[in-house]
Each structure stands twice: as C-alpha cells, then as structure tokens.
Amino acid sequence: MEFNEPRLALNRIYTRTGDKGETALVGGQRMPKDSLRIECYGTVDELNAFVGMARFSALDTLPALADILLRVQHELFNLGSILATLPQDVHPKQPRVTETEIKQLELEIDKMNAELTPLRSFVLPGGSRVNTELHACRTICRRAERLAVSLARNESVPSEAIGYLNRLSDALFVWSRWANRQLGAPEVLWSPNAAASGKE
C-alpha cells in the first residue's frame, strides 16, 4: 500500500501556541500535553531518536542492521502519525503501520535468531555499544506498547499499532544479540550471585 507523501512547510519552529500546556493533534483538536495519547506518540518519537542513535553506531560495522533500523525509523514516524490522529480524522492514504511491517519484523527475527545460540540465562545489556543502545530501544519500545494498550482501553487504537510495537521490541532484543555475535563481542549473562548480597 502506498501512502501520500507529506505536504509540509516547517518554516517556523516555535508558535507559542503550546505555552499553556496544550498541543494540537493532526485533526486540529487541542489536547493537554500530558494526555495519554500525547504521551503515547511522544514515547514513539523518543524511541525513534534512540533507534537513530543505534543506527549511527551500526553504520560502519553492521550496515545490514543499519539499513533495517533506518526503515524502522520511517515506520515509527508513520506509527506516530496515526497515534497523533483521532480515528474520525484518519485519511485513507495517511501513513501507518500495517500487517506488512509486522510480518517483515517477524521474518527478520526468525532469520537472525536462527544464527544465535539458544539462551540458557537472561542477558544484560553490554558487550558492545550498539548492543546497549538496542536494549535501550527495547525498553522504550515496551513503554510505548504499554501506553498504547492503556490508550486502547478508552480510545480507538489500530490493533496493528500495538502488534507492531510488540513485535519490534522482540526484534530489538534479537538484533542486540545478533549485533554482539557479528562483532565478536561476548554476551553478558545474568548471574544472581554477582549481586553484593550474593557474595555474603
């Protein structure tokens, strides 16, 4: 499915219209900046920034992963577009995430996971910079998913939005492990007895 290209003119960055704690949705409705819908798509935006950071770290050493992460950034912006729009204002050609994006993540999860050794322990972020950045992305993605689930209790949220975030968090976990394997970096396994009390 092809979506409309955005028609934007971002000449003025500040408008002062948000100084009273409100912002506008795509349909023009004013909402408090701490409303659940704003918090939800704001967290998707935060996730996009962290994915961009991980992509930058992967550019030289893991170009295939960097390409995937760039695609994910575009998908997250499309997701934010839908979350910033009330259901009655969604245009048929408005960018969004669909089952196609979810299936693509599943293909990538399965392909990369097949190259990894089975886990016998939980893993901690570490081993390489890109691994830790992908873990940060994963936790932000989980938060975005929780917010989307909360929003869906009271308002209409496309099921694909929640499904995409759920699958993306799984993908980020697999990508973090795959990155360490490709870089020859060790996985950091959780050891309960490594805590201070475990040595008593």
Q: What is the pLDDT of residues 36-67, one digit of tens each?
A: 888 998 999 999 999 999 999 999 999 999 99
C-alpha span between 79 and 141 (Å, rounded): 12
Closest CA to 64 of 163, 175, 189, 197: 175
Q: What is the pLDDT of residues 167-186, one digit of tens each?
A: 999 999 999 999 999 999 99
Q: Report CA-CA distances (Å) from 166 to 83, 85, 106, 147, 185.
A: 16, 21, 11, 12, 27
Q: Residue 58 corresponds to which amino acid?
A: A
Query: Using 50, 70 and 90 to split pLDDT, how confident is the model at 6?
Result: low
Q: What pLDDT, on the 0 to 100 scale, is given for residue 191?
A: 87
Interaxial angle between packed helices 129-154 and 63-83, expressed in degrees from 0 to 180 and rounded to the nearest 10: 20
Q: What pLDDT, on the 0 to 100 scale, is given for residue 170?
A: 98
